[in-house]
Amino acid sequence: MLARDVISNGARWRIGDGKDIRIWQHRWIASSGSGKVLSPRLDQSLDVVQDLFIPGTKTWDSEIIDRLFLPWEAESIKSIPLSDHQHSDLLIWPHTPDGCFSVRSAYRILAVAQSRDQPSSSNIEASKRLWKGVWKIEVPNKVRHFIWRAVGCFFQSSSSLFHDSLGDLGTKEQIEGASASLGFGNVVDRASALLHEFRDVQKLPLRRSVPREVVKWSPPDDGLYKVNFDGAVFEDQACAGLGVVIRDSAGLVIGALSQKIRLPSSVVMVEALAARRAVMFAREISVFGLWWRHEGNKLAHALARRAVLSADFDVWMEDLPRDLDDVFLFDLA
């Protein structure tokens, strides 16, 4: 697979105004393996993602989506969050936390694709463990890099040897005999065993765990208000929670919010939506002169976790639910 093909197949479109993303041609659905729409094209008048919005808005047209797409694909599309801001569609790399391309993530995609092409397909999971072990092994970077390249070259040369050995062979028995002679089934297990053996003889000191310091909430200056926000993910229920709390310089609650939303495509997206909801909530209750902070977030996190109990969202003005009293008092202690 060429490097250009890896980038083309691995990149995904992030929806902005929806004008540049072709519905059936581009890769933009997170839940689909290929990123492309699998539903048949029933309406030729719909071409770009913007055609799936309610005209004049940045809101999904549920009626059109439910009518034209397979049920699971329709739910996936409607769960994609849309920004109120007018910005262009953006091509991103979803295989890294920051959305930027990295050689390491691309090589991981290549390794998985290559393992699928090997005659012994039952070792894909073992191969994943091998590559993960290479990157986590506690050796100098140059040694780790050497192991990575050596194993990768072995797979590449072994694959070529396998295909060359087939030649004009056409029977099932001959192909299976060539595969067995190359020993593909034992390659990953043997390499993994050698890596474990190498780890065992290392005399590197064990890393001691450093206890994380608990960052407590600190009040803003007089006359200002502090906004804390956080998100929580509930994968088993296909939803996420957003928590926002606004407090004054005395630590008293001005307003608090707990909201349940559909599960976004990533944890980073959950945090971004929590920040966006915090801005909107402060505007809704007309609170200005704000400090925006993500540390000392114990109460906001508890509100986000509590969202799983809500049908949609709950708001408290100058108050909190009784089950969060202990968390509130911990911040003031």
Return the SS3 of 291: strand
**Residue 5, token pair as written in the block:** 């093909």
Q: Is 247 exposed, middle or buried (0-12, 13-18, 19+ CB in 10 A)?
A: buried
What is the pTM (predicted TM-score) of this model?
Answer: 0.41
CATH architecture designation of domain 225-332:
2-Layer Sandwich (3.30)
**Which candidate, 275, 229, 293, 294, places its Cα nearest to that of 255?**
229
- The pLDDT tens digits for 224-252 are 899 999 999 998 889 999 999 999 988 88
| Whole-number pLDDT of residue 171 | 47
Tell me the β-bridge partners of 234: 239
- Where does CATH 3.30.420.10 sit in the chain? 225-332
| Whole-number pLDDT of residue 161 | 47
In this structure, what are the phi and psi dihedrals at residue 258, rounded to the nearest 5 degrees?
A: -135, 120
DSSP string of 189-229? HHHHHHHHHHHHT--PPPPPPPPPPP-------TT-EEEEE
| Whole-number pLDDT of residue 86 | 78
| Whole-number pLDDT of residue 53 | 93
CB 224 within 8 A of CB 195: no
For the chain, residues with pLDDT lower than 50 are 1, 119-122, 158-159, 161-176, 178-185, 206
**Which candidate, 87, 85, 106, 86, places its Cα nearest to that of 95?**
106
